Amino acid sequence: MGKLSLAVDIGASSGRLIAGHLEEGVLKLQEIYRFENKIIQRNNQYCWDVDTLFKEIKKGIHQCGKLGLRPDSIGIDTWAIDFVLLDEKDQPLTDAVSYRDPRTAGMMEEIFKKIGKEELYLETGIQFLTFNTIFQLEALKRNQPEVLDRAKTFLMIPDYFNYLLTGKKSNEYTNATTTQLVNAFTKKWDGEILGKLGINKEMFQEIMPPRTVLGNLKDELVSEFGFDLDVILPATHDTGSAVMAVPEVENTIYISSGTWSLIGVENRFPICVPKACQYNYTNEGGVDYRYRFLKNIMGLWMIQEVKRSYGDQYSFSELVEFAREATAFNTVINVDDGRFLKPENMITEIKEYCTENNLPVPESPGEMAKCIFISLAESYQNAVHEIEEIFEQKFKTINVIGGGCQNEYLNQLIADRTGKEVVAGPSEATAIGNLAAQLMSLGDIGDLTEARTIIKRSFELKKFTPAKSGVNEECTL
C-alpha cells in the first residue's frame, strides 16, 4: 500500500475527512468523519463558525487514530474568497464573515472610482462578483477602518486552519487568486492595485503553490493525536481541487456542480481579453499553474434552500422525482439574479420573481424543483455558447464533477439543452483532487497527467447523450 493521505474537504453545508492511498495503481478512498457546516449570525453579520470547524477537523484526525490509521499527510480545502485577519499577537481581529453577508453592497462601484474595471480585469483576470475579497476589504476599510489598521496577517479560511495546525502562515496560490488582488501573470500579490486601494500589502503572506509541504503539526497537537503528519497544501480552493480530478480535459468543458456551479475549461495561460471581461469569466489559479477559465453560476444552493424552506419534509431524490413528473411546467428564471444569493425564503423569492416577470408561477414542490433544474441547464447552455465564442472552437464533451453529478435528471437536461455528450463523475472530485496533490508531493504520483490517468481508471463514470441521439448509458472510462 502506498502513502496514506487525509483530505479535509469543507463545503458550505458540510465537511468531511476522506483518507486515500494507491493500491495497484488505483486510488482507494475511505470516509473517516463527516460534520455539518452552516452560516451563523454573529455581531449582526453572516459568519462561518471557524472555531467549531477546527474542532471538527481535530475530531476527524482523532477518528483516524481510533481506526488504527496513521496518515502520512493532511491537506485542507474549502470555499474561496472569505478570510480572517490577525493582530500583532496573532489573535483574530475579525469574524470569518461569509460572502453571503450583504456588507459588500455598493463596494464594487467604490472600487471602480479608484481603479477602472477594465484595468482591474486586465491585471487579475478575475470575474466581478459583488462579494469578492477585494470588495469585502473595501467594506472593512469604510466601516471598520480601525480593524484594517491593526491587521498584521491576512489568511484565507484554509490558510487559517493550516496556521492552527502548524503555526506557519502562508497564502496558498489557488485560493489567493480568487481575492482579485493577485496579478494573473506574475502570480504574486499586485502591489500597484493594493497601493491604489490603500490596502496594507504587508499583511499578505508569501503565495505558495499546491503540493508545498507547509510543515509538521505543532508539538501540542502531536501529543494530542499521538502521531505527527505533514501538512501539505492541495489546491485549497475546493474548485481547484475538483478541477484537478477532471479525468479528461482535452476538448472538454467541465462543470463543478455543488452549492455553486463552476463551468469552464482548463487553460495554460490567462485570457484577459475584453470579451472574457464582458461575459464575466475568471482566470483562477490551478495546480501546476494551470488556469481555471470559468464562470460562477448559481448552483444547487437554490434547491438546497427550497428543501429547507419546505421544512426538509422532502429528500433531494424526492424533489428530483417530483420534477420529472411536472412535465407541463417549463418556466425558466435567471438563476444568477442577485436576489437568490441569500433570500429569507427561496420559495417565496422564486414565486415573486416569476410574478414580477409575468411568468407562470411554480406552485407544487415538483414545479419548483423543475423550475430550478431547467433554469440551471439553460444557464449552462448560455455559458457553453460564450466559452465556444471566446475560444473560437466547439467542445465535444461536458464533464460534470462533484456531488451534483449524481443528479441524473439534471445531467440529461444538460445533454439535451447543449446537444453534447455529458460525462458524470467523479462525485468526490474535490477530495480526490486534494488527495492527488498530496500524493504527488509525497512522490506516489509523478505529475498531473499521471494523476488524471489514475483517477480515470479508479472511478466509474456515467455518460449521457442528447435525447435525439439516443439514451443515456453507463460506461467506465
Residues with active-site annotation:
238
Question: For residues 209 and 50, is the Cβ–Cβ distance under 8 A?
Answer: no
Q: Is 20 annotated as ligand-binding?
A: no
- Kindly state the cell numbers that stand for 39: 452560516
Q: Is 238 annotated as ligand-binding?
A: yes
Kindly compute the dihedral angle of the four CA atoms of residues 165, 169, 174, 175, in this order, to the nearest 10 degrees.
80
Question: For residues 21 and 7, is the Cβ–Cβ distance under 8 A?
Answer: no
Please give the full DSSP string across 213-261, using - where no structure is assigned. EEEEPPHHHHHHHSS--EEE---SBHHHHHHHT-S--TTEEEEEESSEE
The whole-angstrom separation of Cα 139 and Cα 105 is: 8
Q: Sheet holding 26-36: strands in order across?
A: 26-36, 14-23, 5-10, 73-77, 230-232, 213-216
Q: Which helix (H) or strand (E) holds 154?
A: strand 153-156
Q: Is 198 annotated as ligand-binding?
A: no
Beta bridge partners of 260: 298
Beta bridge partners of 263: 255, 295
The whole-angstrom separation of Cα 107 and Cα 119 is: 17
The whole-angstrom separation of Cα 353 and Cα 361 is: 9
Q: Find all residues with CB under 8 Å of 228, minimum gap 6, and list them.
A: 216, 217, 222
Q: Is 304 annotated as ligand-binding?
A: yes
Q: Is 62 annotated as ligand-binding?
A: no
Closest to 135 measured CA to CA, from 95, 105, 93? 105
Burial call 241-252: b when 16+ CB within 10 Å, e when fewer: bbbbbbbbbeeb
Q: Is 230 annotated as ligand-binding?
A: no
Q: Is 133 helix (H, G, I), strand (E, B) or coil?
A: helix
The whole-angstrom separation of Cα 136 and Cα 141 is: 9
Other C-beta atoms closer than 10 Å to the C-beta of 118 total 12
Residues 332, 423, 75, 151, CA torsion sign: negative
- Kindly state the cell numbers that stand for 232: 501539505
CA 13 from centre of chain: 12
Q: Hey, which bits of 361-460 come out as E strands?
A: 397-401, 421-424
Q: Find all residues with CB under 8 Å of 42, minimum gap 6, and list them.
A: 95
Q: Is 403 annotated as ligand-binding?
A: yes
Q: Is 16 annotated as ligand-binding?
A: yes
Q: What are the C-alpha distances in Å from 14 to residues 57, 130, 137, 228? A: 12, 24, 26, 26
Binding residues for ATP: 12-16, 259, 304, 403
Binding residues for substrate: 80, 237-239, 296
Binding residues: 12-16, 80, 237-239, 259, 296, 304, 403
